[in-house]
Amino acid sequence: MRSISSTASRIAPGLTSLVAAQLFRRTSRKLARAGERDVLRGATETTVAGMKTWSWGEGPTILLVHGWNGRATQLGGFVSPLVSRGYRVVAFDAVGHGESPGDFLSLPELASCIREVAADLGDVYGVLAHSLGGAATTLALSQGLQVERAVFISPPSDPREFLRIFSGAIGISDEVRARVQARVERRLGVTMKSMQATVHAPSMRVPLLVIHDQDDKEVPVQVGRSVAEAWPGAELIVSRGLGHQRILRDEAVRNVAVSFIDAAERRKRAA
DSSP 8-state class, residue 42:
T
List the pLDDT tens digit at each of the 271 positions of the chain: 555 555 556 566 678 889 999 999 999 988 788 889 999 998 999 999 999 999 999 999 999 999 999 999 999 999 999 999 999 999 999 999 999 999 999 999 999 999 999 999 999 999 999 999 999 999 999 999 999 999 999 999 999 999 999 998 888 889 999 999 999 999 999 999 999 999 999 999 999 999 999 999 999 999 999 999 999 999 999 999 999 999 999 999 999 999 999 997 777 666 5
Judge: domain 42-158+196-270, CATH 3.40.50.1820. yes
How far apart, in whole angstroms, are the C-alpha atoms of residue 95 and residue 113?
7
Question: Which pLDDT belongs to residue 170?
Answer: 85
Closest by CA to 155, choosing from 227, 97, 217, is 227
Question: Which pLDDT belongs to residue 7?
Answer: 57
- R_g of the chain computed on alpha carbons: 19
Q: Give the three-state DSSP class for 192.
A: coil
Q: Is 38 exposed, middle or buried (0-12, 13-18, 19+ CB in 10 A)?
A: exposed
How do the domains of the chain map onto residue ranges? 1-30+163-192, 42-158+196-270
Question: Which pLDDT belongs to residue 30?
Answer: 81
